[in-house]
Amino acid sequence: MLALIAGAADAPVNVKILAEGEEEISSPHAGELLRRERDRLACDAVLIADQPMLDRRTPLILYGVRGCVYAEVEVRGTPRDLHSGTYGGAVDNPALVLARMLASLMDGESRRVLVPGFYDDVRDVDPAEFAGNPVDDAVGLAMTGARALAGEAGYPLAQRVSVRPTLEVNGMVSGYTGPGRKSVIPAAAVAKLGCRLVPDQRPEEVFTRLRDHLLAVAPPTVAVEVRRLAGGRPAVMDRDAPLTLAAVRAYREVVGAAPVFLRGGGSEPVVPELLDVLGAPVTMVGYGLPTDNIHAPDEHLAVEQLHLGVECTRRTLAVFGARAIMR
Amino acid sequence: MLALIAGAADAPVNVKILAEGEEEISSPHAGELLRRERDRLACDAVLIADQPMLDRRTPLILYGVRGCVYAEVEVRGTPRDLHSGTYGGAVDNPALVLARMLASLMDGESRRVLVPGFYDDVRDVDPAEFAGNPVDDAVGLAMTGARALAGEAGYPLAQRVSVRPTLEVNGMVSGYTGPGRKSVIPAAAVAKLGCRLVPDQRPEEVFTRLRDHLLAVAPPTVAVEVRRLAGGRPAVMDRDAPLTLAAVRAYREVVGAAPVFLRGGGSEPVVPELLDVLGAPVTMVGYGLPTDNIHAPDEHLAVEQLHLGVECTRRTLAVFGARAIMR
């Protein structure tokens, strides 16, 4: 890829490559690395190409990422599982206690997160930003396979998956989970929680609020530990950054269509670090397809999309470089 | 054992042995077997010897067992796990839905089961029955290792673990449960539930009430299935049955102490079937020790307790036989 781009006679820009291999674990060292290598990485613009296209004919430019914070909550009752006949009625059940604690996190009707202060720092978004946004309920139903969609009351799907914060249980386990039944009162119960954050929520603060809430609602009959697993900040980018405008033109020329501008629901903790540490605008493009099975068995990238990506990148850099010369 | 008992010259009774090998899976075929073999099994009294002693010096006669009913509830949201970034905010989270459903089963303060009608058929018990009962909070704390005991408000521990019904989560699982984190919205969540029942609750009816409640509180965004896994009826026995009185005398003679009479918290579904089908009183004794690690690694029975059991059984049958002759 680098050779293909560097070999292009019409790319009058210098290119520095930064390979970030920890994205899937929330890039815990990205900020530290960027600060240490700030001088070597100094640049006018950053291009990230890890997004999908909406389909083969419809490119996408992402101008926002949600932040994230992950936590693990463990409820411990007794040193070991107890016989539910002998001891049923004697002690609190850690699985049931955890269920009550989790239930306290979200209102079942409005799907609003009930952690005090959770929404305090959430920035309002102009609904006009979502005019023409293609993510409607029909798209959501088709993509998720759900019987019905659900989410924070008062916000349409396109906003719920991009500019509104969320709280999910990513996993939970307690007691006996094999076939049939085993009559135990589990010794402990664990849940993994993940929040998606939006400007101007801060992962550390949301974690503290979440932890404090969980500890506050837990009964004194159990020991509760809340551990922070990972986190990253949200970011929103300038849709008129010079490199972004160059990418738009490249998409028009190479794919034959203007890109759809979207704020993404996922998290890419390196993005806010790049913006802050390098002080350069970030442009997020990509050439994957919705059929690539990302994060799933048989994940792949079609060879023709790779070639499309090389061609788009060459044109993007050419346009960006030419405009820079004209300035 | 049989040879030892049958060889005793002072046992003027006929002995029929019934080996019940499905007790740990709630004896699903016991009732059917008893009804089919009713004539061959006809008897004047039934002796079951599978209980522990309170300690080496303190025998126990159990005069009640709780019933049980087990269920598995599955909440299914989408055909597969979803990325919590892309789809966070789009759909209900099955783990969180299940947590809310489980939380609805019990009041967090009073620990009363909130399933409508759950207590309707529960028989009141005369508190005098618990005079001198050794199961106090200090015993409960020592045996469970819990930080604090908890259970249905208004009832002391001894009643909560024997004559009051309970509802426990025996296990639950959803989504990612390995180390670290994985940013998914789980496709499904499952919990295993177990109730202990007391006279005159019926397992089928309690299951139906539990299922109906769970289905009623589930939101329409998910598919919910509630499966019945097993069940057995509660029973309470006559403390003055002739064989029970004979067992008391045998304990006095062989162990040197009168037995403590207790109603048990566990379930033994064959007991109500024996009472109903054979129409004979049931006496529950035993020679295990609290240190036997029942249902746990290294489960065992001390050889001296086995010999004690043989001796007590011989004396019990001798006394029972002699009294029968005198009648």
In this complex, do B169 and A95 lie within 8 Å of one another by their Cβ atoms?
yes
Beta carbons within 10 angstroms of residue A9's beta carbon: 6
In this complex, do B169 and A192 lie within 8 Å of one another by their Cβ atoms?
no
Q: Which of A79, A180, A267 sits opposite B145 (nearest CB)?
A: A79
Q: Which residue out of B74, B114, B147, B263 would a mutagenesis test of the A interface target, given it has the greatest number of A Cβ atoms within 10 Å?
A: B147
**List of chain A residues whose C-beta atoms are within 8 Å of the C-beta of residue B104:** 103
Q: How near does any CA of chain B get to the CA of A36, in Å?
A: 27
Q: How near does any CA of chain A get to the CA of B43, in Å?
A: 29
Give the per-residue pLDDT at A6: 60
Mean pLDDT for chain B overall: 94
Q: Token pair of A276, please?
A: 């802050």
Q: Token pair of B303, please?
A: 């050889």
Q: Tens-digit pLDDT profile for chain A (327 aa)?
A: 565 666 655 567 899 999 999 988 889 999 999 999 999 999 999 999 999 999 999 999 999 999 999 999 999 999 999 999 999 999 999 999 999 999 999 999 999 999 999 999 999 899 999 998 889 999 999 999 999 999 999 999 999 999 999 999 999 999 999 999 999 999 999 999 999 999 999 999 999 999 999 999 999 999 999 999 989 999 999 999 999 999 999 999 999 999 999 999 999 999 999 999 999 999 999 999 988 988 778 899 999 999 999 999 999 999 999 887 666
Distance of alpha carbon B326 from alpha carbon B244, whole angstroms: 17
Beta carbons within 10 angstroms of residue B123's beta carbon: 11
In this complex, do B219 and A145 lie within 8 Å of one another by their Cβ atoms?
no
Residues of chain A with CATH 3.30.70.360: 67-125+163-232
Distance of alpha carbon B240 from alpha carbon B247, whole angstroms: 11
Q: State whether residue A134 sits within 8 Å of chain B by CB.
A: no
**pLDDT grade, residue B322 (50/70/90)?**
confident
Give the per-residue pLDDT at A11: 61
**List of chain B residues whose C-beta atoms are within 8 Å of the C-beta of residue A151:** 89-91
**List of chain B residues whose C-beta atoms are within 8 Å of the C-beta of residue A85:** 66, 68, 196, 264-267
Contact B191, B102 (CB under 8 A): yes
pTM: 0.93
Q: How near does any CA of chain A get to the CA of B152, in Å?
A: 7
**pLDDT grade, residue B183 (50/70/90)?**
very high
**List of chain B residues whose C-beta atoms are within 8 Å of the C-beta of residue A108:** 100, 219
B216-255 tens-digit pLDDT:
999 999 999 999 998 999 999 999 999 999 999 999 999 9
**List of chain B residues whose C-beta atoms are within 8 Å of the C-beta of residue A162:** 89
Contact A188, A76 (CB under 8 A): yes
Percentage of chain B lying above the pLDDT 90 cut = 87
B187-220 tens-digit pLDDT:
999 999 999 999 999 999 999 999 999 999 999 9
In this complex, do B230 and A175 lie within 8 Å of one another by their Cβ atoms?
no
Q: How near does any CA of chain B get to the CA of A94, in Å?
A: 8
Beta carbons within 10 angstroms of residue A79's beta carbon: 11
Closest residue by Cα to residue B168 from B66, B76, B28: B66
**pLDDT grade, residue B71 (50/70/90)?**
very high
**C-alpha pair distances (Å), B49 with each of A319, B32, B126:** 89, 22, 27
Task: Give the N- to C-terminal CA distance of chain A in Å, as an integer.
Answer: 28
Q: State whether residue B179 sits within 8 Å of chain A by CB.
A: no
Which residues 234-263 of B have a C-beta within 8 angstroms of A? none
Give the per-residue pLDDT at A297: 82
Give the 3-state secondary structure percentages of chain B, helix then strand then coil, rounded to 5.
30, 20, 45
Q: Poorest-confidence range of A83-92, B56-65, B67-76, B318-327? A: B318-327
Contact A256, A59 (CB under 8 A): no
Q: What residues form DSSP beta bridges with B283?
A: B47
Q: Which of A90, A147, A186 sits opposite B151 (nearest CB)?
A: A90
B254-292 tens-digit pLDDT:
999 999 999 999 999 999 999 999 999 999 999 999 889
**pLDDT grade, residue B90 (50/70/90)?**
very high
In this complex, do A295 and B83 lie within 8 Å of one another by their Cβ atoms?
yes
Distance of alpha carbon A31 from alpha carbon A193, whole angstroms: 24
Distance of alpha carbon B327 from alpha carbon B325, whole angstroms: 5
Topology, domain B2-65+234-326: Aminopeptidase (3.40.630)
Give the per-residue pLDDT at B25: 86
Contact B285, B50 (CB under 8 A): no
**List of chain A residues whose C-beta atoms are within 8 Å of the C-beta of residue B172:** 95, 99, 172-175, 177, 189
Residues of chain A with CATH 3.40.630.10: 2-65+234-326
In this complex, do A192 and B176 lie within 8 Å of one another by their Cβ atoms?
yes
Q: Which CATH class is domain B67-125+163-232?
A: alpha beta
Q: Which of A70, A176, A222 sits opposite B192 (nearest CB)?
A: A176
Contact A175, A69 (CB under 8 A): no
**pLDDT grade, residue B327 (50/70/90)?**
low
